Amino acid sequence: MPPDEARPGTLRTLIDFAQPLGTGGRLRLGFGEPSRVLVARTADEVRPVLDAVEALAREGRWCVGYLRYEAAAAFDRAFAVHAADGPLAWFGVHDEALPWPEATDNDAPASLDWQLGLSRADFDSRMQAIHRAISNGELYQLNYTATLHADFHGEPLALFMALRQAQPDGYAAFIDAGEEQLLSVSPELFFDWQGERILTRPMKGTAPRGATPAEDEALAQRLRTVPKERAENVMIVDLIRNDLSRVAKPFSVRVPRLFHTEALPTVWQMTSDVEALVREGTTLADAFAALFPCGSITGAPKVSAMRMIRELEPEARGVYCGAVGVVQPGGHAIFNVPIRTVALRGAQARCGIGSGITADARADAEWEEWRHKRAFLDRAGRASGPPFDLLETLALVDGELRDAPAHLARMAIAAAHFERPWNQASVASCLDDLKARHATGMWRVRLLLDAQGTPRAEAFAMEAPPARVLLQLATRPFGEAHSEFTRFKTTRRAHYEALAPTESGAFDTLLWNRDGEITECTRGNIALLLDGRWVTPPLRCGLLGGIGRANRLRSGQLAEAVVRVDDLPRVQALAFVNSLRGWIDADFAPFQK
């Protein structure tokens, strides 16, 4: 809403920032209506706005705001950018800070249907253009991005809270600038400048989180050691060292930490620290002139990379890849690189996504990295969905629970992922009580864990599994293959139920992902006899790591292999596999032959 329409007492700005150079803890504050607003709409106005911000902060005010990526032209006319789609710089000035709201009365945000305005074919074509430029010696690396768009009808603050829950820690900021609202939950520090010390922490290198602790650690280790990721990181470290030297005291630039992996909810990210002592007389505008835009979101060399970015990207980046931050009373400045940022304008939402392209980058891997990076948006969407419990389904036969330790271990991992309390003794006691009431017969047990960590168990009479079943092949890709609600078993199963069998006599549906890779069935895993050996899809294809599947991988009865839909005519036999029912031989339903 415009400033003159703001409701009295309404929080217009929230910041929740880490303090790398502070005393620990977080800078978590709210701000009401600004006493004044500083706006730059032309390149010539950007430096005066930053000078005013610095002066007002030294007088005791709080200044919170942002610079668009397109503000780069204010610091170097050689930086090629599109025409800006809003203010180049915007800062609200506040006489006092307010406490962070303990609770809000906002409704849960509506789920947004994000659409990427870039086809895979166009992505591949631009990757080829970047590789040609690298081969021709025009640049070493380029950060290529695209924009996700969605219709938005809801309360911006509620969406921010959901995003912050999905992407905690880091540098979160909600700024209602009237004509637009910025919802940044970026994990990347641009710079933290206090006194004479300035710290930058560029983020370069990404890997997905694993479905198990062992896989998670293996992915982190791989990120730290893969030459491509290390090269990408060190190129930007060198660029920022050079940028920082423009305002640093001689010989004070150093790199105290290199190739550090940070665990975020949906990805591993690799960061490095570059710090320096700032020369006397350096202003906030000088610091931006030396460092902006951050090299991690341009590439190297910066001028050449930005020129190619303007050629390849059809629209302005906006606040995405710019800077969002706060200058505290006295002058301590903390700014993030808004790489996980949603911009709202009216009924439209936009969010950028991208990655650094080097000579050895592969289109498939980069496209996959984009998918992992945008997962925080999908994770935020769970706040708008119905409540859910964690779920394990076990077979209880004559008083004995099949594979109980493995099921409890898997539920404990899910509880950690969804940040739910886990008490092994309480869960075991719950199951013991159920076993005592069902000492004979065959039962299907549903073990549930709610958001407070309270377990409950239910038992349902179960018949012996059939000797053979029919499977129906899904008629469309399983869009949620890589969702956390696929990797972890919960009661939120609408994405599975939407692909339940539609043909009479079909036992279950065989699913496949957007890349045409077989994943699993809606209620169990799949085993396929292909080229003389039994295989099952690897977890990276997007599926639940079933207990029955794990047992057979361990015994050597199954091996992991990618199987595509196109490979199905060569499959010699099929089997449905899970812990509850065991191994059931399967065929494709006759209507698919």
Residues with a catalytic annotation lie at: 188, 204
**Identity (one letter) of the amino acid at 206?**
T
Strands (E), 492-545: 508-512, 518-521, 525-530, 533-536
Nearest to 73 by CA among 28, 40, 117, 32: 40
Q: Number of helices (H) and strands (E), helices first, in the chain?
A: 14, 32
Residue 25's alpha-carbon distances to 79, 98, 170, 231, 500, in angstroms, are 37, 17, 12, 32, 48
582-588 vs 468-473, strand pairing mode: parallel
Measured N-to-C along each axis, helices 227-244 and 284-291 cross at an angle, to the nearest 10 degrees, of: 140
User: Rounded CA gap, 415 and 447, in Å?
Assistant: 13
Find all residues with CB under 8 Å of 210, minimum gap 6, and list them.
216, 217, 218, 219
The helix/strand/coil state of 153 is: coil
Residue 246 CA, chain-centre distance (Å), reads: 33
Q: Do 308 and 302 contact (CB within 8 A), yes or no? A: no
- Report which secondary-structure segment, H or E, holds 162: helix 156-166
DSSP 413: H
Q: Do 202 and 321 contact (CB within 8 A), yes or no? A: no
Query: Is the preceding omega at residue 101 within 30 degrees of 0, hence cis?
Result: no
Q: Which residues pair with 559 in a beta bridge?
A: 535
DSSP per-residue string spanning 352-406: EEEEEE-TT--HHHHHHHHHHHTHHHHHHHGGGS----EEEEEEEETTEETTHHH
Nearest to 109 by CA among 181, 169, 194: 181
Residue 35's alpha-carbon distances to 90, 97, 187, 215, 260, in angstroms, are 14, 12, 29, 51, 41
Q: Do 319 and 343 contact (CB within 8 A), yes or no? A: yes
